[in-house]
Amino acid sequence: MKIFSAEQIRAWDAFTIKEEPITGIDLMERAAGACSDWIRKNIATSRKIMVLCGPGNNGGDGLAIARLLHKAKFKVSVYLVESTNSSEAFGVNLRRLKTLKVDVVTLHVAADFPTVSKNTVLIDALFGTGVNRPLKNLAAQLIHFINKQNATVISIDMPSGLPADNCVDDGAIVKATHTLSFETYKLTFLLPQNAVYTGSIHLLSIGLSKKYYENTSAAFIKTDEQLVSRIYKPRNQFAHKYTFGHALLYAGSKNMMGAAVLCSKACIRSGAGLVTIHVEPDCEAIIHISLPEAITSSEKDASKTWIKKSAIAIGPGLEKSDGNTQLLNKLLGEWQGPLVVDATALSLLNPLLTKLPLRKTTDLIITPHTGEFEQLFGKTVSDLERLQLAIQKAHSLGCYIILKGHYTFIACPEEPHNFNTTGNAGMATAGTGDTLTGIICGLLSQGYAARDAAILGVYLHGLAGDIAADKISQEALIASDLIDNIGAAFLEISKKKHQ
């Protein structure tokens, strides 16, 4: 799913109006119809509806929704923010509403704000994607009033005061219970700082032009089933284990062999034909007992270990040592195949960053969480600034940066960049990052391109977590549960591909 900017969304509306053709007011009616249909399905007619409208097109949406809900037997009242400059569509819908027996009140000062009972539903139709600066005066006062109420709040298109392409720390912004938006996500919906404002997001189709969508490029994409189905490659039934590559993992140490076990199991479960784990000699038995399908190596000559390997991952459970720093330096300088750098190896990477753009290929993937990212590239003041820095570094260093989080972000050397859609809070537990590294390395070893391995790997990892959480709860979920459900995740992806 493409994620368009506010400017692109306005152009999409305009293109649809011209191409279909349809009048702007009729397109607004279509949007209002989609919103009122959702409200009728999810809100009881016994509940009181208060629609709060600004003077622009978002307010016009609200007026049309009020009219449709009134006709659907809801008890509706409408409150308008006083303005001397309203949009044409607002005026049309206000005139239409006034032909019905609906209470319409203009708010001049804060003393005019209505009394809100706990059974009331507030529909926020104050301001949409056109907001690009903090709201002030009466509008800001009204938003603070909304946020103090013990009521369900439904924002139309956007929570009022929230910019479509940015994140904010404070100010006058509606804290919605539900946001009813149209066609595709806005960037702002995917930034963690904004989650407090958006509530549950529901995308409604209003028939915007498919031609515009298909022919317009976007800087960001939200990974969905369609994209994953295109990436996923079913197995050739005449294949053998060498068809699916040989992954090499530098993982584990005396006190952290669990990370090596998790990473290795995930790598095998992701489909790698063979997996070798390089560990110290006295740690090999742990691998043999835990994972009889794996191979171990304690070869000290790295170049020999790399022979006939398809992809390498380094980091999970490693000690922070001079020897491992030298190993990472050698990998970055001499190994020209696919490489995943995670965990301890990320803490060793900073002085070696100049090596990255010298690599002949862009099949290097690094997988930091927020803390590791900032240790590598510096502090950031907002989620958006962190994304922008990740994009800049992915481009300048020629690598893929998987910035782990709720909507894990994949910054690529070239656009588009991806937000992942799978996963849950139960995955915020030790070892899940090690499983992700194993999955991605396993996909790389099978011949997936770095971009595809990153996108599919993160999606598969999150989907396995979702399947596990459905079975045992988010609270009880541990990293091993992800590995146990990788197969179920593959089955779900495979079924979608063949539908």
The pLDDT of 472-498, averaged and rounded, is 95
Dist. CA 469–CA 461, nearest whole Å: 12
Dist. CA 43–CA 49, nearest whole Å: 10
Q: State yes or no: pLDDT of 286 exceeds 80.
A: yes
Encode pLDDT of 218-233 as tens digits: 999 999 999 999 999 9
Domain at 225-497: CATH architecture = 3-Layer(aba) Sandwich (3.40)
The pLDDT of 28-32, averaged and rounded, is 97
Encode pLDDT of 365-412 as tens digits: 999 999 999 999 999 999 999 999 999 999 999 999 999 999 999 999
Q: State yes or no: pLDDT of 498 exceeds 80.
A: no
Q: State yes or no: pLDDT of 414 exceeds 90.
A: yes
pLDDT recorded at residue 134: 84
Q: State yes or no: pLDDT of 212 exceeds 80.
A: yes
Encode pLDDT of 141-197 as tens digits: 999 999 999 999 999 999 999 999 987 777 899 999 999 999 999 999 999 889 999
Q: Decide: 279 and 299 in contact? Cβ < 8 Å.
A: no
Residue 243: pLDDT band (50, 70, 90) is confident
Dist. CA 164–CA 101, nearest whole Å: 35
Encode pLDDT of 84-113 as tens digits: 899 999 999 999 999 999 999 999 999 999
The CB-based long-range contact list for 292-297 (8 Å cut-off, 24+ gap) reads: 293/268, 294/264, 294/268
CB neighbour burial string for 70-90, b if at least 16 within 10 angstroms, e if fewer: beeebebbbbbbebeebbebb
pLDDT recorded at residue 378: 95
In this structure, how many other beta carbons lie within 10 angstroms of the beta carbon of residue 356? 18
Q: Rounded to 5 degrees, what are φ and ψ at 390?
A: -60, -40
pLDDT recorded at residue 351: 95
pLDDT recorded at residue 214: 97
Question: What residue ranges do the domains of the chain occupy?
Answer: 2-218, 225-497
- Classify the phi-psi angles of 82: left when phi > 0, otherwise alpha if psi is within -120 to 50, otherwise beta: beta
What would the CATH number be for the domain defined by 2-218?
A: 3.40.50.10260
Q: Decide: 310 and 337 in contact? Cβ < 8 Å.
A: yes
The pLDDT of 34-60, averaged and rounded, is 97
**Alpha-carbon torsion angle 417, 422, 427, 428, nearest 10:** 40
pLDDT top residue among 347 and 360: 347
Under DSSP, the state recorded for 237 is T
